[in-house]
Amino acid sequence: MSYGGFYLSDPIGNNEFSFNERENRKIYVPSLIRKEIHIDNFNLDFVKLGEIPSFIEIEDGVERVCYGLEHMYEIDLIIDAEKKKKIFLFDNHNHAFYFWCRSIISGHLKKGKSLLHVDQHKDTRFPSDFDVDISNIDDVVNYTNRVLNVGNFIQPAMNFGIFSELVIVDSKYGLDLDMPSDYILDLDLDFFSRDMDYIDLDFRINRVKEYIQETDLITVATSPYFIEQERAIDMFERLLK
């Protein structure tokens, strides 16, 4: 199922931030490609950085242009003959909503699981509306990119009952919480940004590895505005080795 490969040039979605103050007023949503990898040979050599802005914001009066990934990636990670994990890797975090809805439509995800959200930020702001038919993939594409942004994509998922419970891990306290019994993992790699270095890095890595072990569906954001993309990709590779 195709996704992405288009520009946002109006003040919508992630392109709305400081739109009227910016010189550059167009961002790119990269296309989705699929990869199948065996865990014994896992690496992210196929993941390339993009050369077109994917997020732009004014920071301290300076226009900051951020570059994400060349593509989004649907990764089938083969564990053994009977077990595999489905991983969606992308730059801006709002795309998680699309992949959750798509997984429901495809039958890979059943409504009612818990969402384990590991992130430097809570991302629980409310969007302007909940006007989307989550069973219509075209409607989901439009809503994900025109209405949602990196800070407000979780509330719609809760509103439509995609998840029954939200567990947020954004601190040392969160890492000490017990894992829910039946969950999917939503990981923002900015959890490994330098802003989070007040928590021991090895502790963070080992705990998130535990989260990965207990689920078969994972959405992963590289969040170009919040973490250097080379560091994000390196951290994700370390989590799966």
In a domain, 29, yes or no: no
Residue 214 and residue 144: Cα distance in Å, rounded?
27
Domain of 88, in residue numbers: 34-46+71-239
Tell me if residue 212 falls in helix, strand or coil. Answer: helix
Q: How many domains does the chain have?
A: 1
In a domain, 9, yes or no: no
For residue 69, give every residue at least 6 positions away whose Cβ sits within 8 Å of its Cβ, in sequence order, or none: 30, 47, 48, 49, 50, 54, 89, 90, 91, 222, 229
Q: What number is the average pLDDT over the span 88-113? A: 97
Q: Please state whether 163 falls in left (phi above 0), alpha (psi between -120 and 50) or beta.
A: beta
Q: What number is the average pLDDT over the span 38-42? A: 89
Judged against a pLDDT cut of 80, whether residue 1 lies above it is answered with: no
Which pLDDT belongs to residue 241? 83
Q: How confident is the model at residue 82 (pLDDT cuts 50, 70, 90)?
A: confident
pLDDT in tens, 10-37: 999 999 999 999 999 999 999 999 999 9
CA neighbours closer than 13 Å in the CB half-sphere of residue 148: 26
In a domain, 232, yes or no: yes
Task: Calculate the average pLDDT of the chain.
Answer: 96
Which pLDDT belongs to residue 108? 93
pLDDT in tens, 173-210: 999 999 998 999 999 999 999 999 999 999 999 999 99
In a domain, 61, yes or no: no
